[in-house]
Amino acid sequence: MSGSPTKCNLLLIRDHSRFTTHDSRFNLLPYICCTTLAMINPDILLKAYRLMCMAKSIAETYEANRSICKYVHSTSRGHEAIQLATAFQLLSCDYVSPYYRDESMLLGLGFSPYELMLQLLAKGDDIFTAGREYYAHPNYNGTDKPRIIHQSSATGMQVIPTTGIAQGIQYLENHLTDNLTKGINGELPVVICSLGDASITEGEVSEAFQVAVLKKLPVIYLVQDNNWGISVTAEEARAMDAYEYAGGFPGMERVRINGSDFEESYDAMRRIVQYVRQHRSPYLVQAKVPLLGHHTSGVRKEFYRSETDWSTHLKDDPGPKLRQRLVELGIAEEHLIQVEKSSAEDIARQFQQAVVAAEPDPSTIAHHVFAPTPINEEKGERTPARKEKIPMVDAALFAIREIMEEFPEAILYGQDVGKRLGGVFREAATLAEKFGDHRVFNTAIQEAYIIGSTVGMSAVGVKPIVEVQFADYIYPGLNQLVSELSKSCYLSNGKFPVQTLIRVPVGAYGGGGPYHSGSIETTLLSIKGIKVVYPSNSADMKGLMKAAFLDPNPVLMLEHKGLYWSKVPGTEDAKSVEPSRDYILPLGKGSIVLKADQSHLDAGSTCCIITYGMGVYWAKAAAKHFPGQVEIIDLRTLFPLDEELIYQTVSRHGKCLVLTEEQQNNSFAEALAGRISHHCFKQLDAAVEVLGALNLPAVPMNMILESAMLPNTEKVKLRVKKLIEY
Ligand SMILES: Cc1ncc(C[n+]2csc(CCOP(=O)(O)OP(=O)(O)O)c2C)c(N)n1
């Protein structure tokens, strides 16, 4: 992309003397400018012009073929200059997160119009998502271009995963250099996060900015400011622009540039990328651009834009500006006409090719929901001889310690998990001392960042283990879990599964009150693309924690606070002997924690209880009143679910209670009961019973009220009696 003009281009340039410096613009580039705007190789200007012509033809082609281009799409018209200028700076070791209007950036990175059009038309050969995602929602994992993680359409949300990439890169750079991919000349990678001006007002953006400046991350936030957020104007939506906002984050370098001027944009981005490559600290670029297309193919400009607004934007069309500049530089008119003509022909040809490309094969619909896990068998010694029993909290701690000893790419972060406290439940105690603050560290109170950053960490090969302090506070992080983590593997067609382990203390006991007692499994299980584990004893905790860590997908480990130390009467069995170091328990395998007697089974006087977590202990206590008549299944993993064990067990007993700590209505337990009724209909001798907590909005603080709300041994006993006597 750099170097001297080719012979051919030298012939086209009539007047070299008109390469000028542009001193008046330097005030736009504080901190990084030297004294002249560097001369840009005419090859680059011509390449940019050709790609701008292509982008224009693309927009015109889509507009002229609206019935064919039926899926919603946005084009880059108006934003071409800054997008191309940015793309031209990047190396294959870099990462970029374009947003849905970054079509020209994709062309600049080297993707062909045909490749983009396959996504436009949701064709089977779409290299990004195989027909699953909108236009200009790329993801790319090759080695010849910058890598692109999966993009959601949620405005501004990619800022957290992308900042996570930069944080992951920083970890590799400082502590695992051999794992870091550098440029061919040893260049360090930079990360570009591109977004529209209206997206900056999303709250999650501030979490990412905070981390970027706090940790000095090598990330460039490129804000393309066209003054619109669909029909909402900047004046309506913001008290400050992105540049001013960035001023509130000390350490964030910032600049405003004219993003419709290719030369200015190119020069600025070249310097900024170089700066971040060397200085390893964040930068915000606010590029002013016109919006010269519809917001999307569906939301048409005529609905809300005035003639005056349109004509004002049109004056800044980057294409004619660059053309004018090329003419000034002496590029022959005939050559420019030839570029325009051949670009249009190229686009027409590639569009026709894309139109006739094959549709996706419907049999691939369920491919890549998850990446395959290597852990499918229980291995190692679950109950080594002569060992003390340990509480669940220690089993979790020891599992993480062994993981971190074995995997230098494993890091642990969350609120209060660092050295000073080691977790509010001491569930991470001693880890920071042992592994250092760089591997075990506190975060701010930023559940969105804690969860969402793992997307980027995982993409660069760091293996994050994160903690959300209480289940009741997972909600600020749910957006990232749903919009980004859960969909990444499926929508990238398997290219970007998110390997992360998210620890979440859950459950009620001893007056924790309404915001420290919640259960969240039903909420989590409504999300497809994540796994949910819920151990009820130390051996399972350790074995499942290992399997969850090695699973290449997002796994949430729900850890019941009432079982952590077996302090709740009746939960002593949650303590068990610590399994061996190599013990591992695959996800998705339930266990029979109590078996019914064959004699009772033969007499038809038994039932089974399907449960998990604290339910295991209520069930065991209740079963003591019906010796030999109750079989108890501990699910251990809620997704994937051991349906085989459940259906086999229910079929043998014909009577079943599904028991949960959650509020009952519309719970996972009720859904499971429905599935059991369907699968085991012919073997059932009674309707499937469900017992959960009362349907209240929260667990009340007072302990008498708390226990009135929750299931307990007595309540379980009554249901078992009813079933057995049925
Ligand atoms: C979280 C979220 N809320 C709402 C939307 C719907 N939406 C799509 S684009 C858009 C406007 C975004 O404006 P801006 O970021 O300035 O980008 P532009 O389209 O102007 O380039 C909105 C509100 C969305 N995609 N995501």
Around Cβ 468, how many Cβ atoms within 10 Å?
24
Structure tokens, 440? 């075990």
Measured from the Cα of 296, ligand 1's closest atom is 19
Task: Tell which one of 230, 233, 301, 483 to mutate to probe ligand 1, the residue whose CB is within 8 A of the most ligand atoms.
Answer: 230
Q: What is the pLDDT of residue 387?
A: 81
Task: Tell which one of 77, 102, 155, 230 to mutate to probe ligand 1, the residue whose CB is within 8 A of the most ligand atoms.
Answer: 155
Asked if 363 and 129 touch (Cβ cutoff 8 Å), the reply is: no
Q: What is the pLDDT of residue 39?
A: 86
Q: What is the pLDDT of residue 427?
A: 85
Q: What is the pLDDT of residue 714?
A: 98
Around Cβ 420, how many Cβ atoms within 10 Å?
8
Nearest CA to ligand 1 atom 15: 196
Dihedral of the CA atoms 54, 59, 63, 69 (nearest 10)? 90
Q: What is the pLDDT of residue 129?
A: 96
Q: Tell how far the Cα of 291 is from the centroid of ligand 1, in angstroms.
A: 13
- DSSP letter string, 32-47: T--SSPPPPPHHHHHH
Q: Tell how far the Cα of 134 is from the centroid of ligand 1, in angstroms.
A: 14
| DSSP bridge pairs for 216 | none
Measured from the Cα of 228, ligand 1's closest atom is 20
Q: What is the pLDDT of residue 386?
A: 79
Cα separation, 136 vs 62, in Å, equals 13
Cα separation, 594 vs 629, in Å, equals 10
- pLDDT means per 10 residues, the chain with 726 residues, are 33 29 34 55 96 98 97 97 98 98 98 98 97 97 97 95 98 98 97 97 97 98 97 96 98 98 98 98 98 94 95 97 96 97 98 98 98 98 92 97 98 94 89 96 97 98 97 98 98 98 97 97 98 98 98 98 96 97 98 98 97 98 98 98 98 98 98 98 98 98 98 98 95
Show the ligand 1 pocket: residues with CB < 6 angstroms. 101, 153-155, 195-199, 226, 228-230, 295
What's the half-sphere exposure (Cβ side, CA atoms, 13 Å) at 573? 14
In sequence order, the 6+-apart residues with CB closer than 8 A to the CB of 526 are none
Q: Tell how far the Cα of 207 is from the centroid of ligand 1, in angstroms.
A: 19
- In Å, how far are 397, 401, 411 from 405, measured between CA atoms? 12, 6, 11
Angle, CA of 98, 480 and 437, to the nearest 5°? 95
Q: What is the DSSP letter of 25?
A: G
Burial of 388 (0-12, 13-18, 19+ CB in 10 A): exposed
Q: Tell how far the Cα of 229 is from the centroid of ligand 1, in angstroms.
A: 6
**Amino acid found at 448:** A
Report CA torsion sign: 66, 342, 48, 151.
Answer: positive
Nearest CA to ligand 1 atom 17: 196
Asked if 513 and 336 touch (Cβ cutoff 8 Å), the reply is: no
Around Cβ 603, how many Cβ atoms within 10 Å?
10
**Whose CA is closest to 531, among 443, 636, 675?**
636
Asked if 245 and 215 touch (Cβ cutoff 8 Å), the reply is: no
Q: Which residues are catalytic?
A: 516
Q: Tell how far the Cα of 491 is from the centroid of ligand 1, in angstroms.
A: 20
What's the half-sphere exposure (Cβ side, CA atoms, 13 Å) at 367? 15
Measured from the Cα of 197, ligand 1's closest atom is 16
